[in-house]
Amino acid sequence: MEIGNFKMHRRARMAFQQLEADEQARVRERLMSLGDTPAAQWPSALARRLPGEQPLYLVRVDDSWRLFVGTDDGQPPEVLDIVRQEMLDFYAQADVKAGA
């Protein structure tokens, strides 16, 4: 499965298929808006490169949904996973509590 220039990892495909039709449309819309732009030039309000050696971006779809997108030179970007923002917040809070 592909959306525009983006490949979909099997984990992302499964998550995408479980979304409501309007949520799927928002994911498609976000990917299409980024599709012709190199990842390094994606607007910071929509995409943030995560720390680490591999080029991995957290892409904002809307207030609820985020995409993890991997990019490798010469390869089309790949949506690796689709997650709710509340899940990311939960893990961030758990990490803070574990470090306290």
Domain ranges of the chain: 2-99
pLDDT tens figures, 82-100: 999 888 888 777 767 777 5
CATH topology of domain 2-99: YaeB-like fold (3.30.2310)
Helices (H), 1-84: 10-18, 21-34
pLDDT of residue 73: 76
pLDDT at 60 over 60: yes
pLDDT of residue 83: 96
pLDDT tens figures, 16-53: 999 999 999 999 999 999 988 999 899 999 999 999 98
pLDDT of residue 100: 54
- Phi/psi region, residue 75 (left: phi>0; alpha: psi -120 to 50; beta: rest), is beta
| Distances in whole angstroms, Cα of residue 43 to Cα of each of 11, 39, 79 | 25, 9, 17
